[in-house]
Structures are given as C-alpha cells and as structure tokens.
Amino acid sequence: MKLCRFGKNGYEKPGLIDSQGTLRDASSVVQQIDQDTISPKGLAKLRKIRPESLPLIKTEPRLGVPYIGISKFVAIGLNYSDHAAEANLPVPSEPIVFLKATTGISGPNDDIVQPRGSTKLDWEVELGVVIGTKAQYVAEEKALDYVAGYTIVNDVSERSFQMATSQWDKGKGFDTSGPIGPWLVTTDEIPNPQTLEMWLDVNGERMQTGNTRTMIFSVARIVSHVSQYMTLLPGDIITTGTPPGVGAGKKPEPIWLKPGDVVTLGIQGLGEQRQRVVAYAGK
C-alpha cells in the first residue's frame, strides 16, 4: 500500500494511492495516518480496503508528511563508500548515528527555507525507514519485521553549520531540513530495500545517481544497531545515508543551493519529491 496525507499544513486528510497512481480520500475508513494506522494490526485493517472504492481526489492538493507521530528522526551518516570518498572521510566501521530535529520535518514538496546565515546549503537523497513495531535490542535477522514501510527523505544539510564542530546536529536540524514523502510504502511492495535506484536533480541537472545496494550497512543492520542504543517506537524514522553527488563533493569546486533553485528527487517505487529553495524571510 501507499499511504499519504493531503491538504493544507496542519489540516491534512488521510489518503491512499490506487493502482493507477491516483489519490483517494481515506477519511471514511481511517481518521488519521498515525502510529496505530501503521502498526501491524492497523495495516492489516487497511489491506482489506480497495483504494478504488474510495473517493477520487481530482485536484492536485499539497501532500504533507505521509503520517504523523514521529518521536525520533534518526539519521545515518556516511553509509555509502563512494560518498565517504567524495567527503574525504574514512569508511566507518559501524553506523554513524545522529538525530535530526523533528521541527525540521516538512512535506515532500514544501519549500526549503535557507536558514539565516547559511552559505553552504546542500542536498542528500536518502531512503527513509519507518518503524511500525516497538524495537529494542532486536537481532539483525529479525530487524525488518519491525519496519512498517519506506519513504523518501531529503537530508538537507547546511555544511558550514555542520562542520563548525564535531557534532553535526545544527547543520542537519534546521527548519525544513527534513522533507519526508510523498508516500509511506508498506513493506509488501518493497520486499528488498537493498535494490532501489535513487536520484536527485537540481534545476533539471542530474546531481546524484545511486542504488541502495551500495550501502555500507544494510537497512536490517541499521535498524538492529540503532535499537541497541535507543528504543525505536512506531512512527520513528531512520534516514539511511546518501549516495555520491552532493554539492559539497562537486569538482572543481562545490555547488551550493541558493534561493530559486529547484530540487527534484526520487527512489524506485517510492515516488518523487520537489522543493523550491527560498530565502528566510523572518526578522
């Protein structure tokens, strides 16, 4: 299944995507796409519904984050060997774990707001893993049983903030640094998360091309590893690293996002995102 939420920010309705790729209003069968909805019991209930039986949405409304209830936004750094090489950093011996602020979460096509003082705004297409069942000290061979589904994350990064200290959080957690969506695609549609093509364009020019098969640490390894150090709750999301082609690694010199730029990105089977970069307009 492909689950989503649509409508104005803060007033989104639950939706399902039918076999033709069109949006259906699921308000009559579920009140919200939340932790209960994406639990094994909740998903089993939804699987009994034929999306084509639901009202068709004929307009193209704003898409929000595909579900609510994210208590933790976990991220994995340098999880592609070729990306580590372009960053001139060693391949890690275990997953590098950090957290993105949940206040940075935004819809898949919402604007990226360049934060005040930003000079090195960058992009990162990543596979997001959505937890469906409480996970604590899980074994790697069982880890995927705790996953509800997958989505796209743009791990938007401000490199001058990120590299100012040994901690990456302030360069990874600013407002609009975490577009998620357009859909939460359940695991039955993505039986192997390690075979997915991924790409990202800036202003129509291809910047990133990759495949999840080149991850250093697999999705199962990551979920198991993170669960050793923090309890993962239903709705928590782990974004799993990016392939090469980020702006910071471009030769002969880096390329940084600026207001007016348009970022488009996608992952096989998970849809596409599109964001416009705008300047911070606050005081």
Local mean pLDDT, 10-residue blocks, the chain (283 residues)? 97 96 96 96 95 95 98 96 80 94 98 97 98 98 98 97 89 97 98 97 98 96 98 98 95 96 98 98 79
Residue 83 shares a structural domain with residue 179: yes
Query: Does the CA dihedral 34-38-43-49 come out positive or negative?
Result: positive
Residue 171 shares a structural domain with residue 232: yes
pLDDT at 246: 96
pLDDT at 90: 85
- The answer to whether 3 and 186 have CB atoms below 8 angstroms apart is yes
Residue 258 shares a structural domain with residue 170: yes
Question: In angstroms, rounded to a whole number, what is the distance separating the alpha carbons of residues 62 and 9?
Answer: 8
Q: Tell me whether residue 222 is in a domain.
A: yes
> Burial of 87 by CB count in 10 Å (0-12 exposed, 13-18 middle, 19+ buried)?
middle
Q: Which residue from 196, 242, 213 is spatially nearest to 79, judged by alpha carbons?
A: 242
pLDDT at 86: 79
Residue 44 shares a structural domain with residue 91: no
Residue 19 shares a structural domain with residue 86: no
Element (H, E) at 272: strand 271-279
Residue 189 shares a structural domain with residue 254: yes
Q: Tell me whether residue 66 is in a domain.
A: no
Q: Tell me whether residue 97 is in a domain.
A: yes
Residue 8 shares a structural domain with residue 135: no
Residue 118 shares a structural domain with residue 173: yes
Residue 79 shares a structural domain with residue 49: no
Q: Which residue from 180, 190, 216, 200 is spatially nearest to 82, judged by alpha carbons?
A: 216
pLDDT at 283: 67
- The answer to whether 8 and 40 have CB atoms below 8 angstroms apart is no
Structural domain harbouring 6 = 2-53
Q: Tell me whether residue 175 is in a domain.
A: yes
Residue 243 shares a structural domain with residue 116: yes
Residue 190 shares a structural domain with residue 248: yes
